[in-house]
Structure 1
Amino acid sequence: MIEQTDQPAARPPRFRSVGVPGRLAAGGLLLAGLGQVARAVWEVRLALAGEPAAGPPDQGNGVHRPLDALEESYHVVTSVGNGLVALCAALFIGWLWRVWDNGRALSGRRPKYAGVWVYLGWVVPLANLWVPRGIVADAFRSTAPGRRLPVSVNVWWGLWVAGLISGVGLFYGESTDETIARAYTGVWPLLLSDAVVVGAAVAGAVAVRTVTAVQLRRLREAAGPEDPVSAPAGL
């Protein structure tokens, strides 16, 4: 007599919601880009106003003169812009973690990059030149095998790396007062760097929406109409 035992059915993978996080990440990128546009407008205003007779704000040897009203307002615009960048980073990394995890569940294989690289990939020198793009690309290919990577992903990353390597815009390691002095003496390099950053933000927003849309379609197919457990509301 053959004894039969009921084997528990394999549990379907749990998928993470990406619809709302994708919209938030794209919105965060656009807000960061808008903050950079505001900086560019103030840099043009500084260039048109010209350097005051007292010279640049940073006088050298640790001496700083009092700022005028326009210079003070540029500090405010810069601080707000930096806050928007911090918000954008948090929203983007939250989205990236979700598409990475969903890609792993959809493909049933180990991702190319471990989850810790979702965070470390942005700060480890040299690795930050390719790892974040690699995570997005791997998540997309796990979601839609055989499909070409969206052009917007490469445009976003190309502009990001251009800014990172050249030390412009958000990535430039100078103080706000030093940037003000540059605006007085030669504003065009600053405006070029602003354009790079804004372009990266816009392309990044398009890339997020594109990758999210593809993964949403695949998640709905994988979850099925009668799987309320593995398909969270607001996929």
Structure 2
Amino acid sequence: MLCAHCRRSTATPDGTLCSGCAAAAAPAAPAVLPPQPAAGGPGPLPVAPPLTAASAFGPPGTGAYGGAGTYGGTGIYGGAPAYPPHGPAWLRSPVGLGKAAAVALGAAVVADLFALWSGFLTYDVADRLVGDVFGAVPDADIDRADALYRVAGVLQVVALVVAGVLFLVWFQRVRVNAEVFDPFGHRMKRGWTCWSWFVPIVNLWFPRRIMEDVWDASVPTGRVPHGLINSWWTLWVIALVADRVSSTTYSGAETPEEFRDAVGHVLFADATHLAAGVLAVLVVLRLTRMQDEMARGGPAAVTA
């Protein structure tokens, strides 16, 4: 018997259609759907995007301190913490800034040495003027001492401004680096790194506190002795006070005795400035080396 549909092929023994027409007429298998949550139940959880070091710590760099290198964006220090408490932080080498700041501070020390020399000449002339009742002190000596004293003052101001700017730029860099090493080990906000030097009263201890936190974060063992920092900061505060006293006495001097005493105060202020400058150079060089070794040491330095 022929197929009732195509009328060409023989129908199957147990039906009216051939095998081809029977297969074409078979219903399609139902689609298998994934299991759905029950009515009113929670839906599938969203998948969070992967955390990258660039999003956690700012723009990546290249090389030893950058994103493609050992440290920075995708490196050892680049991925944690996800939410830095002081804002994005990323490693940058402090070596160049450290050398520049150290050289500028050294120039300020040289200016202080010149000021001390001219100050001793001025003090000698002032001391001779105290007992000079017959005009025995030549005018040339007085003019020479006064000219040297003025030149020394200008050199000190220029050197201090240049050294101060470079020191603050370096200080900001090592503070950000320290946040990468230890994001939660800083008591002061990052903005205080520079502004703390200019706000009255707090400038007597805020910068030292920030320096201590940066110092501790830059060594693998955590907290270390702060003898160098304390010595430098003590001399710096003494120099600030001595500057204020010497400026007041110098501007108010009217007699040869008062002028001689005022020059003595200035000499003391210059000496403390010089000593503080020498220790500042040591602080900059040592902290720069500590951070460079910390970065290049990788995880071994962190876990040591």
Confirm or deny a common fold (TM above 0.5): yes
Equivalent in the alignment of 2:124: 48
Tell me which moved more, 70-79 or 134-143: 70-79
1:171 and 1:115, CA in 2 relative to 1: closer, same or farther beyond 3 A? farther
Pairing 1:141-220 to 2, within 5 Å after superposition:
141-144=216-219, 145-164=221-240, 167-169=241-243, 172-174=246-248, 184-186=259-261, 187-220=263-296
Pairing 1:125-140 to 2, within 5 Å after superposition:
125-140=200-215
Distance 1:10 1:147 in 2: 30
Amino acid at match of 1:28: A
Distance 1:69 1:163 in 2: 27
SS of the aligned residue for 1:108 comes to: coil
Where structure 1 has 5 or more consecutive residues not aligned to the other structure, the ranges are: 54-66, 225-235
1:127 and 1:92, CA in 2 relative to 1: closer, same or farther beyond 3 A? same
Find the structure with the greater CA-based Rg.
2
What do the CA deviations read for 1:144-185 (whole angstroms, capped 9, x no partner)? 242413421111001011222xx3248854497768978952
Distance 1:133 1:197 in 2: 17
| 8 Å contact from structure 2 (residues 245, 265) kept in 1 | no
Distance 2:198 2:267 in 1: 26
Residue among 144, 151, 164 paired with 1:89: 164
Equivalent in the alignment of 1:232: none
| 8 Å contact from structure 1 (residues 137, 149) kept in 2 | no
1:171 and 1:88, CA in 2 relative to 1: closer, same or farther beyond 3 A? farther
Amino acid at match of 2:166: L
Equivalent in the alignment of 1:118: 193
Superposition RMSD on alpha carbons, in Å? Answer: 3.4
Q: TM-score, normalised by structure 1?
A: 0.75
Distance 1:85 1:170 in 2: 16
- The count of corresponding residues between Structure 1 and Structure 2 is 210
1:32 and 1:192, CA in 2 relative to 1: closer, same or farther beyond 3 A? same
1:174 and 1:84, CA in 2 relative to 1: closer, same or farther beyond 3 A? farther
1:206 and 1:10, CA in 2 relative to 1: closer, same or farther beyond 3 A? same
1:193 and 1:6, CA in 2 relative to 1: closer, same or farther beyond 3 A? closer
Amino acid at match of 1:75: R
Equivalent in the alignment of 1:10: 52
Equivalent in the alignment of 2:137: none
1:207 and 1:182, CA in 2 relative to 1: closer, same or farther beyond 3 A? farther
Q: Which protein has greater RCO, CA pairs closer than 8 Å, 6+ apart?
A: 1
How much does 1:16 deviate?
Answer: 1.8
1:172 and 1:215, CA in 2 relative to 1: closer, same or farther beyond 3 A? farther
Equivalent in the alignment of 2:113: 37
Q: TM-score, normalised by structure 2?
A: 0.60
Residue among 93, 102, 105 paired with 2:177: 102
Amino acid at match of 1:10: T
Where structure 2 has 5 or more consecutive residues not aligned to the other structure, the ranges are: 1-33, 35-43, 54-72, 79-89, 133-141
Equivalent in the alignment of 2:22: none
